[in-house]
Amino acid sequence: MAEVADSARTVILTVDDDPGVSRAVARDLRRRYGATYRIVRAESGASALEALRELKLRGDLVAVILADYRMPQMNGIEFLEQALSVYPGARRVLLTAYADTNAAIDAINVVDLDHYLLKPWDPPEEKLYPVLDDLLAAWRANDYRPVPTTKVVGHRWSARSSNLREFLARNQVPYRWYSSDEPEGRRLLEAAGADGQRLPLVITPEGAVLIEPEASDLAAHVGLATTPAADFYDLVVIGGGPAGLGSAVYGASEGLRTVLVERSATGGQAGQSSRIENYLGFPDGVSGAQLTERARRQAGRFGAEILTTREVTGLEANGAARVVRFSDGSTVAAHSVILATGVTYRQLQAPGCDDLTGCGVYYGSALTEASSCQGQDVYIVGGANSAGQAAMYLARSAKSVTLLVRGASLTASMSYYLIQQIEETPNITVRTRTVVEAAHGDGHLEQLTLRDVEGGATELVDAQWMFVFIGAAPLTEWLDGTVLRDERGFILAGPDLTPDGRPPADWELDRPPYHLETNVPGVFVAGDARAESAKRVASAVGEGAMAVMLVHRYLEQS
């Protein structure tokens, strides 16, 4: 096995099957370049390739490879040919005896050899160092910089690949995407020892290889917290959208031991918005991702814990404690709970859409997939603000964007400022009274059948990209039997619990429920999950702050 140190410096690799020569070469290299480059030594082509693959997985750079020509099993030319597929940018040097000069000249064409050196090269100051100085200068000029980020290899039309990319992007985890049918993607698959049949493949900055990882496993490997640090808190916030983040910021800043639990990524639907232009204090607008990241950092600065990939499946009152149960059977308890579970995009009930989800049909993924839509014709289903914001964002690079709206106009559901912007954007077309009848494609979206809701006429159009924003449903099924909800699943609280002025039948306290308090004392709701909420970012943040104020009032009287 080659000697691979822990240093992150750029590598010069040398391979020679003669241990004495190998040590001598490494000694000469370290004397001149050891302060700025890491010298890796191997004694066979196989072990050198193993070292290169390990370096590749860790995201390290290899500037120069020196290989002896006369090695058993795999000679220097054969080794450099394979090394070329792992590090195509590395400069390649063949070490030869005088009798092997013709082989070295032939290797210039076989492996695009940069130089060959005759052994011995004493003194190195005259015969070795000048050559390597020139090669290193040429390598630096090509700007082969390291990418110390998570790498993802997947297929363009893969639902799992799309979901994984969206998970990383929404959790603000830097990553580089490589298609499995492109050269660098194939190099990474080979370096990881993967056959490419099971995708996506993830390589962490530390070089760990994950094949088809579950969200919880991926989160643990990229530095996202998934386990609570304590068993009991003052406040558990369930949901990481604007309402949940607002609750976490105000709860932690006011001295409550606070933990926020999110099943996927903080930000909720707002976090996927390309630009929010009507949020107070941002006259030029702000992207949902920017607003989410600022709120998350703010909550963390005040001491709130933020857990991701934790699915909450139950809530129960156990004396003064409110116990939250996770899908893995573990629990966390607190004096109080704020339900900020938000909503999820409704699924388009048209034949073919389920099979093509993540393969051309997307729900709220405009930001993640936008780069792939450059120069393409894009369809967006929906007529509210989310659809309008996605249309404006995608129109920057797409050839055309077509908004498909069931209603007669956008005025009933979209903000006026967005309608004006859409009307002024030449490559956006609005088709009203139009619905998607069916989606067609073999492995990925290829066509859509559109229907006029008035006349019933249908039209078949070519389409590779469709983004769907057709309303939202609350994520509250897990509260069945514990917290009262309306017929659509939205959580009832405060005055909505007491329409006749009397508290619910199972209410235990002398006072009526507080404004955002559910039928379970100490359990509050904020944001879109609440019945009759405003469904706006500003109101959600405000309700999150207000819920914390009511938590304080509850704790003072408990």
∠ at Cα 289 (288, 293), nearest 5°?
Answer: 120
Task: Supply the pLDDT for residue 144.
Answer: 60
∠ at Cα 236 (230, 238), nearest 5°?
Answer: 125
Q: Where are the alpha helices (DSSP H) in 337-438?
A: 353-356, 366-369, 385-394, 416-423
Task: Supply the pLDDT for residue 411.
Answer: 94
Dihedral of the alpha carbons of 499, 505, 510, 511, in degrees to the nearest 10: -30
With tokens 């703010």, the residue in question is: 298
Task: Supply the pLDDT for residue 6.
Answer: 39
Of 164, 162, 7, 139, nearest in space to 64 by CA: 139
With tokens 């639907």, the residue in question is: 269
User: What span, in angstroms and rounded, lies between the C-alpha atoms of 144 and 67?
Assistant: 21
Strand, coil or helix: what is 459? strand
Strand, coil or helix: what is 537? helix
Task: Supply the pLDDT for residue 7.
Answer: 39
One CATH from 3.50.50.60, 3.90.1150.10, 3.40.50.300, 2.30.30.280 for 232-344+473-557: 3.50.50.60
Strand partners, 40: 13
Q: What token pair was written down for 172?
A: 């603000």
Fold entry, domain 353-470:
FAD/NAD(P)-binding domain (3.50.50)
| Contact yes or no for 365/162 (Cβ under 8 A) | yes
Consecutive sets of 10 residues in the chain, 558 residues long: mean pLDDT of each?
A: 51 93 92 93 94 89 92 89 87 81 65 78 87 89 66 90 89 87 90 89 90 93 93 97 97 98 91 83 83 92 96 96 97 98 92 94 78 91 93 92 96 94 97 97 95 94 95 92 95 88 82 95 97 92 98 93
CATH of domain 150-221: 3.40.30.10
Q: What token pair was written down for 50?
A: 């193993």
CATH of domain 11-141: 3.40.50.2300
Task: Supply the pLDDT for residue 367.
Answer: 67
Q: Which residues contact 173 (CB under 8 A, 6 or more apart)?
A: 150, 222, 223, 224
Strand partners, 447: 440, 462
User: Is the preceding peptide bond at 474 cis, omega within 30 degrees of 0?
Assistant: no
∠ at Cα 192 (189, 195), nearest 5°?
Answer: 50
User: What span, in angstroms and rounded, lies between the C-alpha atoms of 395 and 401?
Assistant: 6
Q: Which residues contact 477 (CB under 8 A, 6 or more apart)?
A: 489
Predicted TM-score (pTM) of the model is 0.74
Q: Where are the alpha helices (DSSP H) in 380-530?
A: 385-394, 416-423
User: What span, in angstroms and rounded, lies between the C-alpha atoms of 398 and 223?
Assistant: 34
Cβ atoms within 10 Å of 523's Cβ, excluding its own: 27
Does this chain's domain 11-141 share its CATH topology with 232-344+473-557? no
Q: How far is CA 525 from CA 64, 390, 519, in A?
A: 60, 28, 11
| Contact yes or no for 14/25 (Cβ under 8 A) | yes
User: What span, in angstroms and rounded, lies between the C-alpha atoms of 257 and 332?
Assistant: 13
Q: Which residues contact 371 (CB under 8 A, 6 or more apart)?
A: 397
| Domain locations in the chain as residue ranges | 11-141, 150-221, 232-344+473-557, 353-470
